[in-house]
């Protein structure tokens, strides 16, 4: 049976190893970092030092697509997460009442899992490592490819070259190196032409902090207006709270990198002041409600990317694949990356037979599964950046750079307005928001469109209705007051 080498032991790499190993394939995972410590899962997650994966220490969302992927392909991992304190949140409780509000097929897919990324990583790691045909090598880096002739003029993968000059034979090599997508460099070093990527900016930096509720048995400090979250994406910044496992929750602010008023969010006092001003968050951060679990963490976010190596149906080298963020990155603000990485890994494993899936099949999967979310992320990121720059007094973006809208803005605005009272429209909008149906599938449905009222031009408003966030000047002054104090 063929040997598969997976370069990277993050969510996508471990999920693929779990899926392939469960089918009896021989898998070797090359991970640059250390393994998680032994012991209880939550403690192991807390003690696992991963300087090469800084994003793991930030808030992540497992939306409806991610829950569905675990239910279908890794139910034991989902059960283990629930046993370790994670929770499933049913978003159907947010559906408006109405004569068409009866439960519909697949409504159970509108469920999210609240769990810290680090806890999920430990569970995936242990599930994959327990399989007899999966071997995880630590502190090993894949530096390049070993290639062999294939056909008249092609090349195929024969293995990987590791740091130190060693090598491992392989019939299939999967790049699971995350957003760095290191296989591009491997190909270039071998003199192989690398297909062009699609790229569009996210222009985002995030400030995040975790807390633990002091009274887990009491009522929550405030409502979750988004079902699995509180807060919103506003006209010059975002401020969102997500519950997690074991009475933990995270608050994350998003801001433009060039918005210097947000610099003070790095400090605990500035962060708390912004929480107090932001809708629905202030009650959660009082000393009586919650205890901070660490400092404010700051991270710059990558652009939206769809890798040409993942979508090329006629690659120059056969037997080389990409999975998860190595294939596609979408704006983290919209919370799709973790779920699409799991779905991509599990669906890619479905294509395996005696060897690797065909290049055409893998490219079709990447284009069909990841392409629509890249397109939506590119457009929505651009619209958010333009709105935020205007509110911050920054020069506008060049109109010529604006990505094409997958759905006309007035149609989206009409759907968001109708979703407040029409359960059928709410269901369609929610399935897009949870990555369960593409915009084309929902907004191309004649029955869905027939339920939309006329909407004024200009698109959807920023943030949930009925809530007033601070102006840019108000937020700037509140943060500055803490710095001066």
pLDDT at 165 (0 to 100): 81
Lowest mean pLDDT among 231-240, 382-391, 451-460: 451-460
> pLDDT at residue 458 above 60?
no
Residue given tokens 């019939």 in the structure block:
171
Q: What is the mean pLDDT of residues 165-183?
A: 94
Tokens standing for residue 249: 């929750």
Average pLDDT over residues 443-459: 80
pLDDT of 100 over the 80 cut: no
DSSP states along 77-136: HHHHHHHTT-EEEEGGGGSPPSTT-S--TTGGG-EEEE--HHHHHHHHHHHHHTSTTEEE
Which of 61-75, 163-177, 291-305, 424-438 shows the lowest mean pLDDT across its residues?
163-177
Check residue 151 and give its pLDDT: 75
The reported pLDDT for the residue numbered 460 is 54
Residue-by-residue DSSP string for 15-66: HHHHHHHHTT-EEEEEESSPPPPSS-HHHHHHH---TT-GGGGS---B-HHH
Judge whether residue 463 has pLDDT over 90.
no
- Listed as own residue / partner, the contacts of 48-56 with beta carbons closer than 8 Å and 24 or more positions apart are 48/118, 48/121, 48/122, 53/10, 53/178, 54/299, 55/117, 55/299, 55/332, 56/10, 56/117, 56/118, 56/121
Residue 461 has pLDDT above 70, yes or no: no
Q: What is the per-residue pLDDT for 353?
A: 75
Report pLDDT for 264.
96
**pLDDT band for position 80 (cuts 50, 70, 90):** very high
For residue range 209-239, what is the model confidence (pLDDT) as tens digits? 999 999 999 999 999 999 999 999 999 999 9
Instruction: Specify the pLDDT at position 454.
Output: 66
Mean pLDDT, residues 334-360 taken together? 92
Cβ neighbours of residue 43 closer than 8 Å, sequence gap 6 or more: 37
Q: Is the pLDDT of residue 354 over 80?
A: no
Residue 455 has pLDDT above 60, yes or no: no
Q: Is the pLDDT of residue 343 over 70?
A: yes
Q: Is the pLDDT of residue 400 over 80?
A: yes
pLDDT in tens, 284-332: 999 999 999 999 999 999 999 999 999 999 998 999 999 999 999 999 9
Highest mean pLDDT: which range of 73-87, 88-102, 443-457: 73-87
Model confidence at 179: pLDDT above 80: yes
400 compared with 237, residue with greater pLDDT: 237
Question: Does the structure show a pLDDT above 80 at 356?
Answer: no
Average pLDDT on 458-484 reads 81
Tell me: pLDDT of 53 over 70: yes
Looking at residue 101, what is its pLDDT?
67
All structural domains of the chain, each given as residue ranges with its CATH number in brackets, are 3-60+116-140+303-378 (3.50.50.60), 205-300+469-484 (3.30.9)
Beta strands in 276-363 (DSSP E): 290-292, 297-300, 304-306, 317-318, 320-322, 328-329
């Amino acid at each position: 049976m063929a040997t598969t080498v997976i370069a990277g032991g993050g969510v996508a790499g471990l999920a693929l190893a779990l899926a392939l190993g469960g089918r009896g394939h021989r898998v070797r995972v090359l991970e640059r970092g250390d393994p998680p410590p032994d012991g209880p899962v939550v403690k192991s997650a807390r003690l696992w030092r991963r300087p090469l994966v800084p994003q793991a220490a930030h808030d992540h969302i497992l939306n409806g697509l991610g829950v569905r992927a675990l239910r279908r392909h890794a139910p034991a991992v989902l059960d283990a997460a629930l046993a370790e304190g994670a929770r499933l949140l049913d978003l159907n409780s947010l559906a408006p009442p109405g004569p068409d509000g009866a439960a519909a097929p697949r409504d159970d897919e509108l469920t999210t899992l609240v769990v810290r990324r680090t806890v999920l990583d430990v569970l995936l790691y242990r599930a994959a490592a327990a399989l007899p045909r999966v071997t995880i090598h630590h502190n090993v880096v894949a530096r390049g490819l070993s290639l062999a002739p294939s056909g008249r003029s092609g090349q195929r993968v024969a293995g990987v070259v590791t740091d130190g000059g060693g090598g491992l034979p392989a019939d299939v090599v999967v790049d699971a190196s995350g957003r760095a997508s290191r296989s591009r460099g491997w190909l270039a070093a071998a003199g192989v032409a690398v297909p062009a990527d699609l790229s569009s900016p996210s222009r985002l930096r995030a400030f995040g902090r975790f807390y633990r509720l002091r009274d887990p048995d009491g009522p929550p400090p405030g409502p979750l207006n988004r079902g699995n979250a509180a807060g919103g994406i506003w006209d010059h910044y975002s401020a969102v709270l997500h519950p997690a496992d074991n009475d933990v929750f995270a608050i994350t602010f998003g801001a433009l990198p060039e918005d210097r008023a947000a610099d003070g969010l790095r400090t605990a006092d500035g962060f708390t002041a912004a929480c107090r001003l932001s809708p629905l968050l202030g009650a959660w951060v009082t000393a009586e409600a919650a205890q901070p679990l660490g400092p404010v963490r700051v991270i710059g976010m990558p652009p939206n990317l769809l890798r040409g190596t993942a979508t090329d149906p006629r690659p120059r080298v056969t037997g080389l694949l990409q999975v998860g963020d190595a294939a596609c990155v979408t704006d983290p603000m919209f919370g799709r990356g973790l779920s699409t990485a799991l779905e991509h890994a599990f669906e890619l494993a479905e294509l395996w037979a005696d060897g690797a899936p065909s290049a055409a099949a893998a490219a079709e999967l990447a284009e069909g599964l990841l392409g629509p979310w890249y397109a939506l992320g590119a457009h929505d990121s651009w619209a958010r950046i333009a709105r935020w720059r205007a509110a911050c007094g920054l020069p506008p973006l060049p109109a010529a750079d604006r990505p094409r809208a997958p759905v006309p803005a007035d149609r989206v605005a009409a759907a968001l307005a109708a979703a407040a009272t029409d359960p059928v429209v709410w269901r369609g909008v929610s399935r897009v928001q949870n990555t369960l149906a593409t915009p084309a599938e929902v907004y191309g449905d004649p029955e869905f469109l027939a339920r939309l009222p006329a909407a004024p031009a200009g698109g959807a408003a920023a943030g949930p209705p009925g809530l007033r966030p601070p102006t840019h000047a108000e937020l700037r002054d509140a943060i500055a007051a803490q710095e001066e104090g």
